[in-house]
Amino acid sequence: MRPVVIAANWKMHTTPAEAGELARLIAARTREPDVVRVICPPFVCLAAVRDALLDEPVAIGAQTVHHEARGAFTGMISAEMLVGLASWVIVGHSERRRDAGETDEIIGRQLGRALDAGLRPILCVGEQLDDREAGRAETVVERQLRGALTGHDPVRLGEAGLVVAYEPVWAIGTGRSAHGADAAAMADAVRGAMGNLGWGAAADAVPVLYGGSVTSANIEEFLAEPAIDGALVGGASLKADEMAGIVGRAGITARARSTARARTAGSGAR
């Protein structure tokens, strides 16, 4: 049974003081026990957000992590530094691929550091617009998955709770979201590719999120797709009203899915 997850990626927004306040506000307005909520603030805001959320079941994530465990890497943050501050970490976000030159190989090593430190990874994948227009979106995403996941034990990654976020690059921050059906087709392709990478049937248990211009107005289109288990939200995650709408809708989905599962299990038992 896959969880419904709404993860907020605050990117390079908020000061520590603002972050604590915003986290408290969002937590108070999104109390949906059936939805896994994650907030990923900037590194320097992690402690403030942790302190603000001590009494709230909201997980905290980092936005990236260095691929080495330690060393002479000025300005970088290792996985073990995050322990006690974050329990999740985003790896492979397209802005890191673009701005920090992170390759699939580096992202694979980041996954390894996340696992070593007990952090739950959200692995981002997604094609450029020209890839989609040329009909090679799935090929690109499969290549990213292969590059990052090869060499990792599926059992270990599965136990760590690996989440995949499908974020078409052309949809991020543009106001132009993907179609729900296309995102669902990609979620199926992601699980298919993972099945072929040694995951077998365990690929079906991997939550796949959609990301790219998600708002309270369009979240429904994605959650209506059974293949999609939630969203990675950027711009809209900085607004408590938007998060209230998004997580509220996710709560409806989570309850509907668990009712449907209970019914199926019940009819199977008879």
Report which residue's Cβ sits closest to ligand PGA. 234
The CB-of-137 to ligand PGA minimum distance in angstroms stands at 17
Is 9 near ligand PGA (CB under 6 A)? Answer: yes
The DSSP bridge partners found for residue 163 are 122
Least CB distance from residue 242 to ligand PGA, whole Å? 10
> For ligand PGA, which is the closer residue by CB, 106 or 172?
172
Pick between residue 146 and residue 239 the one whose CB is nearest to ligand PGA: 239
Residue 5 backbone dihedrals phi, psi, to 5 degrees = -120, 130
Rounded Cα gap, residues 187 and 132, in angstroms: 15
Q: Are 170 and 124 in contact (CB under 8 A)?
A: no
- In the complex, the smallest distance separating the C-beta of residue 236 from ligand PGA, rounded to whole angstroms, is 6
Site for ligand PGA in 212-231 (CB under 6 A): 212-214
Catalytic-labelled residue, pool 95, 138, 167, 225: 167
Alpha carbon 266 to its chain centroid, in Å, reads: 32
The reply to whether 167 belongs to the active site is yes
Using the rule CB under 6 A, is 125 a contact of ligand PGA? no
13 in active site: no
Alpha-carbon distance 100 to 110, whole Å? 13
Count how many Cα atoms sit within 13 Å of the Cα of residue 77 in the half-sphere of its side chain: 16
Work out whether 168 is an interface residue with ligand PGA (CB under 6 A): no
Residue 167 binding ligand PGA, by CB under 6 A: yes
Residue of 67, 93, 127, 142 with catalytic role: 93
174-213 residues in contact with ligand PGA (CB under 6 A) are: 211-213
- State the number of binding residues for ligand PGA (CB under 6 A): 13
Please, which residues have CB within 8 angstroms of residue 148's CB and are 6 or more apart in sequence? 91, 92, 104, 107, 108, 111, 123, 125
CB of 99 to ligand PGA, least distance (A): 12
Q: Among residues 154 and 168, whose Cβ is nearest to ligand PGA?
A: 168
Interior/surface letters 229-248, b for 16+ CB within 10 angstroms, e for the rest: bbbbbbbbbbbbebbbbbbb
DSSP structural state of residue 236: G
Could you tell me how many residues make up the chain? 270
Which positions lie near ligand PGA, rule CB under 6 A?
9, 167, 172-173, 211-214, 232-236
